[in-house]
Each structure stands twice: as C-alpha cells, then as structure tokens.
A = this chain, B = another copy of it.
Amino acid sequence: MLDSINLNADMGEGFGAYDIGSDAEILKYIKSASIACGAHAGDPNVMHRVVTLAKEHGVSIGAHPGFNDIWGFGRRRIDMNPRDLEYLIAYQLGALQAMAAYVGEKVTHVKPHGALNNMAAENLELALAIGRAMKTVDRDLIYVALAHSQMERAAEQLGLPLAREAFVDRLYDDDGNLASRKLSGTVITDPEVAKDRLVRMIEGQQIISRNGKHIPTRMDTLCVHGDEPTGVAMAKAAREALASLGVDVVPLPQLKLS
C-alpha cells in the first residue's frame, strides 16, 4: 500500500465583499491549497490572504484557475477555443505567482476549477491547452488531474509532473468521471460515509463508482471541496481515515510523482 498521499482543497473563492468557504479552518487539515485566481472567483486581496495562511500552515500553494465567469462561479460550461483558454490559464497562473511572491513561495501545482475541470477531464484539447499554459509559465508545475481523465493523458503527453486526484466528497460515474453535481446525492455530506468510502478506496487502490463498480486507480492526491459547507468536516474525516491507515499526508511537492 502507498505510504504517503496529498490532501488538497480549493480555497480563496471569495470576491470583494463576498466570502465563501472556511479557508482558515480547512487549512489546518490539508497539505496543498488550490487557490482561485480571480477568473471564476478570488481577487488579489483574497489571494494574498490565502497564500499567507497557507505559508503559516506549511501548506503548498497551487492555482485553481477557472473560466472567466464570476457570476457563474465557474460552474457554467462555456465553449472556449483551446487557444483562448490556454492564455486565460497562463494569465491566472502568473497572477498567483505574484501573490505567492509576498510570502516567498512558489506556485507548485495547478488544479482546474468547476466546469473547466469537468470539461478538461473529457476533452483532450482543453486539457492540453491547460498543460501548455503550465509548461510555458513554469515547467515544474504539477498537473493535478482527475485520475483516468484526459487531463492525465495531457500531462503525460506534455511531460508535466502529474498528480492523479480522487475526490473525498463526490460520487463517481462508472467511467471514472465525477457524477454531475446536479444529480441529487452525488455530493457526499456525511463525514462518516466519506471516511468509510475513503478507507476502501485507499486500501484497494481504487475508486468506487456510485453503481458500485471498482476501478483500480493510482491516487496521489485527495480533494475536499472548500466551497462546500461540509468542507472542514470532510477534510477532518479524510485525515482520520488516512491516519487509521498509517498513510502520511504531505504537500504535493514532497510526493514522488510519475
């Protein structure tokens, strides 16, 4: 069995006077933060606050880029051509790098947000566009990619460091993709359910679809959703599950990645 894994959450998804999530609390449990970069959410103030907190907690800093759609919170699928998307991603990565400079840290991973994550999981062109932006801005950036997705394939094609991701608080379809958030019950809200499920996933090195299908899966990082009200409870549950299995939880740059 694996001896170490990463735990990440999306963070910094406020905007101006608006706040969402419980960043300060979740940071106690995770090891890598995927920080919104101002396109679907986030702004320079929020980014500054979160990189500062992350530094204090020894949490590695990553980008959580999304579609340029504050109103839709990056959850609306938007039809973009890959080149436009690529530059939009590069822009967000650079912006976060500047904010990370405030705490003397580097941005070390990239994890797409919301509808973009879903679309890039399915569409190699989009997944490659994200990867090209990463490679241009910093070729050491780790591509956090849904296991079995087109993002995994894109990272491999581009030779980018790859962290395969599984979700603590979301159900899967039989093809290994996340079940739509619009379907009732696909977001897990009970920490005990999440914990049991996670133990089985880690022990078996597999994800388990909502129909019970077991899909052998290498998992480098586990994700909890910081923008869900249950974010803190889920992060805690994940830590407990991993502790019970004797698996170390480490920042992404400390993982041995393929």
Interface residues of A (CB under 8 A from B): 14-18, 20, 38, 41, 43-45, 47-48, 68-73, 75-80, 83-84, 87-88, 90-99, 101-102, 115, 133, 136-137, 227
Bound Cα distance from A79 to B18, whole angstroms: 19
Bound Cα distance from A96 to B17, whole angstroms: 22
In the assembled complex, the CB of A39 is this many whole angstroms from the nearest CB of chain B, namely 10
A102, B90: Cβ atoms closer than 8 Å: yes
CB-defined A-B contacts under 8 Å, sample of 19: A15-B70, A17-B20, A17-B75, A18-B18, A18-B20, A44-B90, A44-B91, A47-B91, A72-B78, A76-B80, A91-B99, A92-B95, A94-B95, A94-B96, A94-B97, A94-B98, A94-B99, A94-B101, A98-B136
Chain B, Cβ-Cβ closest to A74: B17
A69, B70: Cβ atoms closer than 8 Å: no
In the assembled complex, the CB of A42 is this many whole angstroms from the nearest CB of chain B, namely 10
Bound Cα distance from A113 to B95, whole angstroms: 18
A15, B71: Cβ atoms closer than 8 Å: yes
Bound Cα distance from A88 to B46, whole angstroms: 11
B17, A88: Cβ atoms closer than 8 Å: no
In the assembled complex, the CB of A22 is this many whole angstroms from the nearest CB of chain B, namely 15
With a cutoff of 8 Å between Cβ atoms, the chain B residues found around residue A133 in the complex are 98
B97, A44: Cβ atoms closer than 8 Å: no
With a cutoff of 8 Å between Cβ atoms, the chain B residues found around residue A48 in the complex are 87, 90
With a cutoff of 8 Å between Cβ atoms, the chain B residues found around residue A20 in the complex are 17-18
Closest 10 CB pairs of A and B: A94-B98, A44-B87, A17-B73, A18-B18, A77-B79, A44-B91, A16-B71, A94-B94, A95-B95, A90-B98
In the assembled complex, the CB of A13 is this many whole angstroms from the nearest CB of chain B, namely 8
With a cutoff of 8 Å between Cβ atoms, the chain B residues found around residue A95 in the complex are 91-92, 94-95, 98
B136, A101: Cβ atoms closer than 8 Å: yes
A70, B72: Cβ atoms closer than 8 Å: no
Instruction: Choose among B38, B43, B79, B93 the residue that contacts A76 (Cβ–Cβ < 8 A).
Output: B79
With a cutoff of 8 Å between Cβ atoms, the chain B residues found around residue A87 in the complex are 44-45, 47-48, 99
